[in-house]
């Protein structure tokens, strides 16, 4: 079973601890994405799995074997680097074959493996080219070729798409997904791009400040974030956050805030929290625009409309706080400029404790 297990993994540079006891179990053939803001420790964690950083504490096992003191070459993992790290003096074929040559595989075996990998990645016509003669996407494929040719137990990806332009990134994202389906190798992927995380992962690990905030499937994390950080990190544009106080409404609890009032779900946790300071989270796509004040709507001042084609982003302010609404444009373009407020379905509003940032219990929603 070629899974990866991290138990209380710690990384410290002298007195400075940057990864604080991470526990994570990556199942065999699973695609796990570590995501988080810059400096959250996700790359460091990946590099510890690779063996490029020493593990300061805890235990790392790959395929059931403790790897803390095992050299990178003996861990049977392959890594795709952010800057590709292709050897500029070698052509594509030799870049892919480098690891096999070092391991002294036979010439016939190397040639067959390189041909196979080049076929999978569409590099057959470029085998004799140097990296400098390739486009960004082709270089990225060579970097992946170099990783898959060794048939390692685990693939590690360190922000492999961040040097590509937006279009190519989307294309390569799909290729990585396809490749994972085809090869079924356990993969750990690091990115700060939540779209990559959402689209690629079987499970996402959201990290912040050297700790894991939440682990779950993309939809679990999207619908049921455990705290305001995860809620704000996943989703583009990010979830709107409004500081509010829970009050007693006519039929259900309400959130009172500077710009108005919103009805919340009839959850006992909320009903029992009247007067509690909370942060109310509303995803931009879950806010419904209104052009006239209606019962339960919240007034907002329209600041700017960004048209994306099928959708538009409405930048508004509620009270003094910025609030973004994502809405479809079809048959609505004329009304966008006259938006005066929004409504939100109570069960789609997330409520977090203002102090701890933790989601109030009972708000779980099925994907």
Partner 1 sequence: MANLNLYSAGDKRFVIVNMILIAIFTVSTMYPFIYIGSLSFSSGFAARAGQVILTPIETTFEAYKYILSQRMFWVSYGNTFIYTIFGTLCSLLFLIPGAYALSRPQLFGRRFFNLMVAFTMWFNAGLIPFFLNMRDLGLLDSYIGIIIGFAVNGFNLILLRNFFEGVPSSFEEAARMDGANDFQVLWKVYVPLAKPAIATVALFCLVSRWNGFFWAMVLLRDEDKIPLQVYLRHTIATLSNDDEFSATLIDAPYSVETVSAAIIVCSIIPVIIIYPFIQKYFEKGILMGGVKE
Q: Which is nearer to partner 1, 76 or 243 (CB)?
A: 76
Spell out the residues 6+ positions from residue 73 whose beta carbon is closer than 8 angstroms to its own. Answer: none
Q: Does 99 bind partner 1 (CB under 8 A)?
A: yes
User: Does residue 87 bind partner 1 (CB under 8 A)?
Assistant: yes
Dist CA 56 CA 68 (whole Å): 9
Q: Is residue 181 within the footprint of partner 1 (CB under 8 A)?
A: no
Residues binding partner 1: what is the number (CB under 8 A)?
A: 23
Nearer to partner 1, 78 or 197 (CB): 78
Stretch that binds partner 1, among 8-16, 56-64, 75-83, 129-137 (CB under 8 A): 75-83
Q: Report the C-alpha gap between 62 and 52 in whole angstroms.
A: 15
Q: Does 102 bind partner 1 (CB under 8 A)?
A: yes
The phi-psi region of residue 143 (left if phi > 0; otherwise alpha if psi is between -120 and 50; otherwise beta) is: alpha
Distance (Å) of CA 302 to CA 213, 234, 298, 336: 34, 24, 12, 9
Neighbours of 129 (CB within 10 A): 16
d(CA 120, CA 30): 20
Least distance between partner 1 and beta carbon 42 (Å): 17
CB of 30 to partner 1, least distance (A): 21
Q: Choose between 8 and 87: whose C-beta lies nearer to partner 1.
A: 87
- Cβ distance to partner 1 smaller for residue 61 or 163: 163
Instruction: For 164-193, give one letter per residue: b (16+ CB within 10 A) or e.
Output: beeeebeebbebbeebbeeeebbbbbbbbb
Rule CB under 8 A: say whether 146 interacts with partner 1.
yes
Q: Least separation, in Å, of the C-beta of 88 and partner 1?
A: 7
Q: Is 79 in the site for partner 1 (CB under 8 A)?
A: yes
Q: How far is CA 299 from CA 66, 173, 254, 270, 340, in A?
A: 58, 40, 16, 23, 6
CB atoms within 10 A of CB 118: 21
If one asks whether residue 77 binds partner 1 (CB under 8 A), the answer comes out as yes
Under rule CB under 8 A, which residues in 43-72 are in contact with partner 1?
A: 50-52, 71-72
Supply the minimum distance, in Å, between the C-beta of residue 78 and partner 1: 6
Q: Is 73 in the site for partner 1 (CB under 8 A)?
A: yes
User: By the criterion CB under 8 A, which residues form the site for partner 1?
Assistant: 50-52, 71-73, 77-79, 81-83, 85, 87-90, 98-99, 102-103, 146, 150
């Amino acid at each position: 079973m070629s899974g990866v297990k991290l138990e209380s993994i710690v990384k410290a540079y002298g007195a400075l601890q940057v990864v604080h006891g991470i526990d994570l179990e990556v199942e065999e053939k699973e695609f796990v994405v570590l995501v988080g803001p810059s400096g959250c420790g996700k790359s460091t964690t990946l590099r510890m799995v690779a063996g490029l950083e020493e593990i300061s504490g805890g235990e790392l096992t790959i395929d059931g074997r403790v790897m803390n003191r095992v050299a990178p070459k003996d861990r049977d993992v392959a890594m795709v680097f952010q800057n590709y790290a292709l050897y500029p003096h070698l052509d594509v074929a030799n870049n892919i074959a480098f690891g096999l040559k070092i391991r002294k595989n036979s010439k016939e075996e190397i040639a067959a493996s390189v041909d196979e990998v080049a076929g999978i990645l569409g590099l057959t016509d470029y085998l004799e080219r140097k990296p400098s003669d390739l486009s960004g996407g082709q270089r990225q494929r060579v970097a992946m070729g170099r990783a898959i040719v060794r048939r390692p137990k685990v693939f590690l990806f360190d922000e492999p798409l961040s040097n590509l332009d937006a279009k190519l990134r989307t294309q390569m994202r799909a290729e990585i997904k396809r490749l994972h389906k085809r090869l079924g190798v356990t993969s750990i992927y690091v990115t700060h791009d939540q779209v990559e995380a959402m689209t690629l992962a079987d499970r996402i690990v959201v990290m912040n400040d050297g700790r894991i905030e939440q682990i779950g499937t993309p939809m679990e994390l999207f619908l049921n974030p455990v705290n305001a950080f995860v809620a704000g990190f996943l989703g583009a544009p990010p979830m709107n956050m409004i500081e509010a106080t829970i009050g007693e409404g006519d039929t259900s609890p309400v959130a009172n805030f500077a710009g108005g009032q919103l009805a919340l779900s009839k959850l006992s946790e909320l009903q029992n929290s009247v007067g509690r300071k909370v942060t109310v989270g509303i995803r931009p796509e879950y806010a419904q625009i209104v052009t006239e004040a209606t019962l339960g709507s919240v007034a907002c001042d329209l600041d700017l409309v960004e048209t994306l084609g099928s959708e538009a982003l409405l930048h508004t302010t509620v009270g003094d706080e910025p609030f973004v609404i994502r809405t479809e444009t079809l048959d609505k373009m004329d009304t966008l400029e006259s938006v005066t407020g929004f409504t939100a379905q109570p069960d789609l509003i997330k409520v977090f404790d203002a102090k701890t940032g933790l989601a109030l219990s009972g708000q779980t929603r099925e994907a």
